[in-house]
Chains A and B, each alone.
Chain A
């Protein structure tokens, strides 16, 4: 085996760094923390205008001639500066799904403006009463001539307050098994009858509850076949799995170790000289290495043309559970320092913030239980434990 990781984006890193120096404004990071919105409309518009969003897309749908490697390097550099691009992440997922399954008319209407940064699409799968069991969605869509009339509500519609469209999982047939009566519709968020209400979270992120009463969606904005929504979801969920390498930089454990080298413990000696502290940090570093290796395996399988489905679940399961072990250990090691937030705390409150953010990692993107089901059934060949229906 060869564990050498070549930085495939190395040639673009310098240019990406310069791009970010020129365009990324430091106050955007503060804004993101203040609002909890993981999307910056100015940045998004700029990326669209410069063809960075359209890199690698077919020209007939508005793709640009920007090198996709350069675009990815720019996105990673933006991430390294503390900004997230959730609006683009979900828009791209849906645009890819549209490219695969929608009518030519829908492709032409949505993809080019999405690549220009004018259309932002968010995901409307989860409902107040259906999350893990997403196929149990109850939102009703009823046909009326050339239109669908939509009624119901969605929960955790992140970024909806900044977006133009929502990709809705709706029920179009109540007479058949739950997987067989679903249809996906792309609704405008400025359509009459749509209401967006903020939902604030423990880690600071703002998400939304969205409500739909007699919202009209033209049939040409139906993505995939009527009642064929489960097949579309399978395509869409594959696009949810990113395989990009995150940019390097010290891990939280390494940052805490560096801090603990000088920070005095209760007896006045540096914390890192306390054997318990050193031992527990070393153990956390093993978890980090395992997370990295499981991610490497996902990327390796993808690079050889395989589908890293089980391995993706393993990586997600391991790294999210490891994140929760990590924050529990780090907060205990830091004691009274760990509860200090923002600039009052060590490392600008990184540990306090990490504790608040950690719970979501095992919930969204498929909970740990959902991932364990996948590993148990597909890797170990154990029977399905969920009721069928």
Chain B
């Protein structure tokens, strides 16, 4: 057991914390809200190698582990960076696991191609709203028995759907995305898709961990400064205790996200279940923490001028991109309580 970051991860964290602090300031985040994307930031990230960081070195990527990606994505989440980094990392993972994906992958590394992952299989020709799709060149999707790379006619971006999290959300339909390249078929297609989706869960959970850390920091700083009844509002116990509960759940989020990454990197049979747990718990906690933080800002928290609303909206929106949590919970139950589960203890209790 070792619950510390490696030395490399600590420097990775420092480098990306600095990058996002400089390139994803609250002003830049607000400026990108209408289109859901900051192209200049994306160019910087391409230059840093971030989009293909998780791709094996022999395929031209950075060879980073899931745990490394978690470190980077947490920093992106902390600044609510307006780029589809998680979606691209997940799509690049799928491309790197198929032979047919190689050419697209080279384009990702060079910054010519921005691929994202459809978060649900195509049904009746639609995968519903997909984060990043409004600025993507390629969407990796599961279409029946085939894993496909869908693309749009040249120069025609998919229409942006206005949304809570100010993401570059667009509907992915086979009609609009008429270019179609088959990457894999049958069991392989499903396996590659499920794996990439599982990575998306872990990384979105990591981004949400960043969101809840910053939302907590904003709340704690504010309650120390703001006075009411002659004392800082931090002095009131109801304020303290709610923030203490959020901090406690927050330590749990951080551990669960890192455990899910470790399980994936070490090929644990619990990896899929832990990825679901991490996303569910990170989403729930990021939202309750940012809601508490907003509440303790009083009326100012409700204004657009304060940053906490940026966090409050994304805390909910990023998780829900995948669908209603109850479906994830049901899938988790199937993972955790399979038909031949642990035996019932015949232990006498009174």
User: Bound pair: A and B?
Assistant: yes
A258 x B337 contact (CB < 8 A): yes
B336 x A382 contact (CB < 8 A): no
Known contacts A286-B281, A300-B1, A369-B241; is-contact A254 B342 (Cβ 8 Å): yes
Q: What CA separation (Å) do A294 and B252 show in the bound complex?
A: 6
Q: Could you say which of B251, B252, B255, B349 contacts A350, with CB atoms under 8 Å apart? A: B349
Q: Could you say which of B235, B243, B259, B341 contacts A380, with CB atoms under 8 Å apart? A: B243
Interface membership of chain B positions 249-265, coded 1 if the CB is closer than 8 angstroms to chain A and 0 otherwise? 10110011011011100
Closest Cβ of chain A to B160, distance in Å, is 33
Known contacts A1-B5, A258-B337, A383-B232; is-contact A250 B345 (Cβ 8 Å): yes
**What residues of A have a CB within 8 angstroms of the CB of B4 in the complex?**
1
Q: What CA separation (Å) do A33 and B347 show in the bound complex?
A: 13
B333 x A290 contact (CB < 8 A): no
What number of A-B contacts does a CB cutoff of 8 Å give?
185
B232 x A33 contact (CB < 8 A): no
B252 x A348 contact (CB < 8 A): no
**What residues of A have a CB within 8 angstroms of the CB of B248 in the complex?**
294, 314, 317-318, 375
B240 x A382 contact (CB < 8 A): yes
Known contacts A290-B256, A376-B244; is-contact A272 B344 (Cβ 8 Å): no
Q: What CA separation (Å) do A5 and B258 show in the bound complex?
A: 15
Q: Does B2 contact A (CB under 8 A)?
A: yes
Among the stretches B110-118, B129-137, B171-179, B324-332, the one at the interface with A is B324-332
Nearest CB in chain A to that of B255: its residue: A293
Interface membership of chain B positions 312-334, coded 1 if the CB is closer than 8 angstroms to chain A and 0 otherwise? 00000000000000100110111
Known contacts A372-B240, A376-B240; is-contact A382 B234 (Cβ 8 Å): yes
Question: Of residues 196 to 230 in B, which have CB atoms within 8 Å of A's CB atoms?
Answer: 220, 223-224
Interface membership of chain A positions 1-45, coded 1 if the CB is closer than 8 angstroms to chain B and 0 otherwise? 111111000000000000000000000011001100000000000
Among the stretches A107-115, A123-131, A274-282, A324-332, the one at the interface with B is A274-282
Q: Could you say which of B223, B251, B258, B274 contacts A382, with CB atoms under 8 Å apart? A: B223
**What residues of B have a CB within 8 angstroms of the CB of A321 in the complex?**
245
State the main secondary structure of chain B at its contact with A.
Answer: helix
Q: What CA separation (Å) do A138 and B244 show in the bound complex?
A: 31
Closest Cβ of chain B to A143, distance in Å, is 39
Residue of A311, A347, A385 most packed against chain B (CB within 10 A): A385
Known contacts A318-B252, A375-B248; is-contact A2 B1 (Cβ 8 Å): yes
B336 x A257 contact (CB < 8 A): yes
**What residues of B have a CB within 8 angstroms of the CB of A348 in the complex?**
346-349
Q: What CA separation (Å) do A145 and B329 show in the bound complex?
A: 69
**What residues of A have a CB within 8 angstroms of the CB of B346 in the complex?**
348
B1 x A6 contact (CB < 8 A): yes
Nearest CB in chain B to that of A257: its residue: B337
Nearest CB in chain B to that of A299: its residue: B1
Q: Does A285 contact B (CB under 8 A)?
A: yes
A278 x B330 contact (CB < 8 A): yes
Nearest CB in chain A to that of B239: its residue: A382
Q: Does A342 contact B (CB under 8 A)?
A: yes
Q: Does B237 contact A (CB under 8 A)?
A: yes
B245 x A372 contact (CB < 8 A): yes
Closest Cβ of chain B to A299, distance in Å, is 8
B243 x A376 contact (CB < 8 A): yes
Known contacts A289-B256, A294-B255; is-contact A385 B336 (Cβ 8 Å): no
B349 x A382 contact (CB < 8 A): no
Interface membership of chain B positions 54-79, coded 1 if the CB is closer than 8 angstroms to chain A and 0 otherwise? 00000000000001000000000000
Q: Could you say which of A350, A375, A385 contacts B236, with CB atoms under 8 Å apart? A: A385
Q: Does B155 contact A (CB under 8 A)?
A: no
**What residues of A have a CB within 8 angstroms of the CB of B256 in the complex?**
286, 289-290, 293
Known contacts A1-B5, A289-B277, A385-B237; is-contact A281 B337 (Cβ 8 Å): yes
Known contacts A1-B67, A258-B337, A293-B259; is-contact A282 B332 (Cβ 8 Å): yes
Q: What CA separation (Å) do A289 and B278 show in the bound complex?
A: 10
Q: What CA separation (Å) do A102 and B5 show in the bound complex?
A: 42
Q: What CA separation (Å) do A373 and B4 show in the bound complex?
A: 26
Residue of A3, A34, A204, A294 most packed against chain B (CB within 10 A): A3
Nearest CB in chain B to that of A321: its residue: B245
**What residues of B have a CB within 8 angstroms of the CB of A285 in the complex?**
277, 332, 336
**What residues of A have a CB within 8 angstroms of the CB of B258 in the complex?**
1, 3
Question: Of residues 362 to 377 in A, which have CB atoms within 8 Å of B's CB atoms?
Answer: 369, 371-373, 375-376
**What residues of A have a CB within 8 angstroms of the CB of B249 in the complex?**
290, 318
Q: Does A50 contact B (CB under 8 A)?
A: no
Q: Could you say which of A1, A6, A261, A280 contacts B339, with CB atoms under 8 Å apart? A: A261
Q: Does B247 contact A (CB under 8 A)?
A: yes
B350 x A33 contact (CB < 8 A): yes
B251 x A311 contact (CB < 8 A): yes
**What residues of A have a CB within 8 angstroms of the CB of B224 in the complex?**
381-382
Closest Cβ of chain B to A381, distance in Å, is 7
Closest Cβ of chain B to A210, distance in Å, is 26
Nearest CB in chain A to that of B70: its residue: A1
Q: What CA separation (Å) do A12 and B121 show in the bound complex?
A: 51
Closest Cβ of chain A to B162, distance in Å, is 30
Closest Cβ of chain A to B279, distance in Å, is 10
Q: What CA separation (Å) do A379 and B258 show in the bound complex?
A: 21
Q: Could you say which of B247, B341, B348 contacts A29, with CB atoms under 8 Å apart? A: B348
Q: What CA separation (Å) do A84 and B42 show in the bound complex?
A: 59
**Contacts from A to B (Cβ < 8 Å):** 1-6, 29-30, 33-34, 82, 204, 249-250, 254-255, 257-259, 261, 272, 275, 278-283, 285-286, 289-290, 293-294, 296-297, 299-300, 303, 311, 314, 317-318, 321, 341-343, 347-350, 353, 369, 371-373, 375-376, 379-383, 385
Beyond A82-B348, A375-B247, 20 additional pairs, beta carbon < 8 A: A1-B5, A2-B262, A250-B342, A257-B333, A258-B343, A279-B329, A280-B329, A281-B336, A283-B329, A289-B274, A290-B252, A290-B255, A300-B1, A348-B347, A350-B347, A369-B237, A369-B241, A371-B244, A373-B240, A382-B235
**Contacts from B to A (Cβ < 8 Å):** 1-5, 67, 220, 223-224, 232, 234-237, 239-241, 243-245, 247-249, 251-252, 255-256, 258-259, 261-263, 274, 277, 280-281, 326, 329-330, 332-334, 336-337, 339, 341-350
A and B contact pairs by CB, cutoff 8 A, 5 listed: A255-B344, A278-B329, A279-B330, A286-B256, A382-B223
Top 3 closest pairs, chain A to chain B, by CB: A278-B333, A290-B252, A376-B240
